[in-house]
Amino acid sequence: MDTRDDPLPDPRRRRLLQAAALGAGVALAGPGPLAHAAGETGSLARTRHGRVRGVREHGVHVFRGIRYGADTAPLRFRPPRPPRPWRGVAEATAYGAPAPQRHQAGSEDCLFLNVWTPGLRDGARRPVLVYIHGGGYDTGSGSDPVYDGTRLCRRGDVVVVTVNHRLNAFGYLYLGRLAGAPFAASGNAGQLDLVLALQWVREHAAEFGGDPDNVTVFGQSGGGAKIATLMAMPAARGLFHRAWTMSGQQVTAAGPRAATQRAQRLLEAAGLDPAAPDAVERLLALPAEAILEATAVRDFSRIEDTRLYFGPVMDGEVLPRHPFWPDAPPQSAHIPMVIGNTRDETRAFLGGDPENFTLDWDRLPERLEKQQYVDIRADLVVAHYRALYPHYTPSEVFFAATTAGRSWRGAVEELEARARQPAGAAPTWAYQLDWPSPVEGGRLRAFHTLDIPLVFDNVDKPGARAGDGEDAWRMAELMSQALLAFARHGDPNHAGLPHWEPYTLPRRQTLLFDLPPVLADDPRGAERAFWQQAPFVQRGTM
């Protein structure tokens, strides 16, 4: 913390900031990969809690690690609080700590966010895009290089925000039945962190050149699921105005009984007696590392080899209903929404096992039985896919069936729930990313997470796995322009796309993002109908 009142850095500090920005090497915006540029002089902004100093890179003001909430260690498993005001100027030139998580250094002092903006206090009222990271509810942070907001700022004249919040047991361990009223909201503490972050955005949007009345939340995988949950949370009402989700849905949430059973299992794994009157008190005294170690205990899910599940809890207060069941949340009916998925989702997380690429017809049913979420006889699944796609290999059937029955199913449920809303509700657009990534010889195709670098226009960032060729940049332009159009106008259409119609029943219009992009009615409709013979229950609900 810099406690001086001087609003401008002294020459020595300016040189240090320039050196730090040079090392960051953020790419310039524009079509295709561009050369890195040197950092520029610092930027100063005023928040309700104190002043913050960022840096100026490639014409964009960048603030990394702004504190939006107090240290959660003294508030473990309880709702977050705003930070205490500080004197002087807080440096916002380095990302804040991520939440505690397995296999990565983190801290319970993790309520930080990052801002990229073309202008400060200029009255421009730019659209604000708030990205909520994936990693399920267990891992991740807002500081991944692929989430860098520079290109979106320069391409669309928008403000971009990324955010950290509590995860796994620290954000979603439900103790309401075990410890009473002080912990009634513990199953949704991570969601309440996001509410606090969105309140911060509303309050400070104008300071950072944004429009508090035009906030778009977007997120992938767990980030999309967190957005779906926010749409049903009364505390989040009015904090955002558009929602864009990518391969992340939350149709149903855990009930209090199932969430309590998981809490009891974690207590036991931590060496504590759940029935002891001081069990939660002793849990509060444990080091974070011991709690993380206990989260590795086996879940009672029907899917093999899964750690203890953590996610939002329908606790009757913070989350009074399932997010998208039995209908789309009425409180969010006025919010335009985009719901997307990728054509080959499970190649991202099942493609790491070489055996899944060399399956034969004899081994396929057993492998499917372990990995499909819907409880349908695996041999019937195989027979259906062989009839639909007689040219598919056993491995292609494996990835297609696990994607449709496991990842895609929730997107269909949410889309149909939105399509059934009363007349006058805001439209919903559906997309499927079909463009195959060229990395690893193309074997991953349109895998889970591929749309992240495309919507951020960051295909050359570490971890993007989109390749760095002309086609990747063309796809990035198509998808990032759609996101920017949606944020600005509430409609994702732009000149590079065929007319993208909203999703309606029974047509189920879906934009297939590929080169070229194509609008299709009910793509993979025979797969959709097959899986709908069994009821959909999201993992972790029971």
What amino acid positions are annotated as catalytic residues?
221, 345, 448
Phi, psi (5° rounding) for residue 327?
-150, 175
Place of tokens 């959709």: 528
Q: What sign does the CA torsion over 356, 512, 516, 390 have?
A: positive
Q: Which stretches of 118-158 are assigned E, i.e. beta strand?
A: 126-132
Residue 242: how many CB atoms within 10 A of its CB? 24
Q: Is 376 exposed, middle or buried (0-12, 13-18, 19+ CB in 10 A)?
A: middle
Encoded tokens for 539:
């993992």
Distance CA 217, CA 226 (A): 10
Q: Strands 60-67 and 112-117: what pairing? A: antiparallel
Helix axes 378-388, 394-402, angle to 10 degrees: 110
- Beta carbons within 8 Å of 333's beta carbon, 6+ residues apart: 421, 422, 425, 426
How far from chain centre, in Å, is Cα 47? 26
Question: 3-class SS at 103?
Answer: coil
Residue pair 295/102 in contact (Cβ under 8 Å)? The answer is yes
CA nearest 159: which of 84, 92, 211, 94? 211
